[in-house]
Structure 1
Amino acid sequence: MTTRRTLLSAGAALIALSTGLSLPAFAQEKIKVAAIYTVPVEQQWVSRIHKALDAAKARGEIDYVFSENVTNADYERVMRQYAEQGNKFIVGEAFAVEAAARKVAKDYPKTAFLLGSSGKPQAPNFAVFDNYIQEPAYLSGMIAGGMSKTNKIGLVGGYPIPEVNRLMHAFMAGAKETNPKAEFTVSFIGSWFDPPKAKEASFAMIDKGVDVLYAERFGVSDAAKERGKLAIGNVVNTQPQYPETVVASALWSMEPTINEALKAIKAGTFKEADYGVYSTMKHKGSELAPLGTFESKVPADLIAKVKAREQEIRDGKLVVVVNDKEPKSTAR
């Protein structure tokens, strides 16, 4: 297993020490921003980016337009169109279109690009970000382990890519801390947005004795609700929709990332950099959701253990290991 701590530190240093690219400054005027999403804005991951950009728009900092459900084949065309229209900041996910996105960035060196990516930044103007929320994922795993009565925990994800794998590994490590007997069933549905398929995968796990489910995808909590089981949310807090089902969630906030990028653009210092560090708890890019309706249902000693670990993370005494390898089932 490897850790991205060095990578994240390097990314932070790169941003902090950036002496600037010859991009124009936008200190007083609104910045024209465009976002390109391959899924609906309701999808967990993309909704966080959309929310952060909407907040900047509400503050009067940016003019914001976006396209959703853009196919991989059409991504480059849409990206170029936004650049040609004078948008100075383009945001999106490049995971399945890395080559095309990086090619477009090279053709528009005066435009700032910030793309979700597993790759490295690309000079002079292609910055990357990622959802490094493994810390609250570990904490939510601790809760899952402590709440499981069958010691069987299920995880349903979209695709086994680093951004998903690291969260699942952290979640399982947390569960093992509070429940050494925990066994895991892992499944990937091959889609970023297919609630019915995620629901069916969850039903299959429940039929095999799973009583707590990690809802990396939408649809998992629906299955848990129908069968009277528990779920742990991911990226967004869905407890208001599932008050008797979702115990806790690992939350992701893109505001710190977007705000840092906008600051650099305004100052004319935006350049290639890794913004992943701004998704960590230290930078308020992630957190464990409040227990809410489960405040009195989670054992007090378990809550105490979770809070102690959370403080250790915030104090830098506990570093959650980042493992990007595909997680495997351990259930017999």
Structure 2
Amino acid sequence: MADIPPLPPDAAPSKYDRLIAKAHTSGPATTIVAHPCDETSLRGALEAGEAGLIVPILVGPDAKIRAVAGQYGLNLDGIEIIDAPHSHAAAAKAVELVREGRGELLMKGSLHTDELMKEVAASATGLRTARRISHVFVMDVPGHAETLFITDAAINIFPDLDAKRDIIQNAIDLWTGVGLGTPKVAILSAVETVTTKIPSTIEAAALCKMAERGQITGGLVEGPLAFDNAIDPEAARIKGIVSPVAGHAQILVVPDLEAGNMLAKNLTFLAHADAAGIVLGARVPIILTSRADSVRTRLASCAVATLYAAARRNAATVAAE
């Protein structure tokens, strides 16, 4: 098992530690790792494998992967490597392996995110479904009791109403799939009232009506809400907002990528939050890691994806019976 940095003796288990522990009970998911050709991406995949979260299959230049492993003392014993000459070929081969049913998860290595997602989104050979592909940050914010999901801060730049419906449904499905219960979903804007001067407030109102009519299911949806009255009960009370979501939001739906990216990075750099990441809406969950991620964050990304894969696997089994 990989060594996970210990918590201080008086610290309670973090949200990530609880997710990682829960993922151990569901069994590892076979994971296709595209082009793990630097220390960070290769170590992350191998540590998640050693921790019992995934079974990695590495796709990329065989000699380069082995050279990186040798340089940094990483153990490749028992690890399957599928040779691909360069990052583009590795992305294409990784997606092909998923289409063939070789893996339940896809994991980004040291190639650029756009290079992998281009293969994922290819109309004829990719992993698209009827659902819009979107990204969820799984945030562990010190001092905040709840795990926070932020979506979409990495894939969809200026999503329209239909795309936001899918973005919300993807996040709800992930929350329920990893066993966190029924989520409280806040659709964020700058204010909590609907006004034609701020288009995101109008979209928030429409999305709430869509949830009311069953076009979005599985969560409690409220909006527009400003960030303060979405997560702080006192701020919601002062504004006179009576809602089970206001002040207690668990999924934060941002107006656009710029807002989401700034929110996630503010929490990361000012509140010292950890931000695991996963892409949804494709045939399989996709684990996106950053070279700046800590060991715990990389393992948390794998844990969330593994839990979700297990939930999908169980649902498919039930549907087939």
- The question of a shared fold, defined as TM-score above 0.5 by the shorter chain, is answered with no
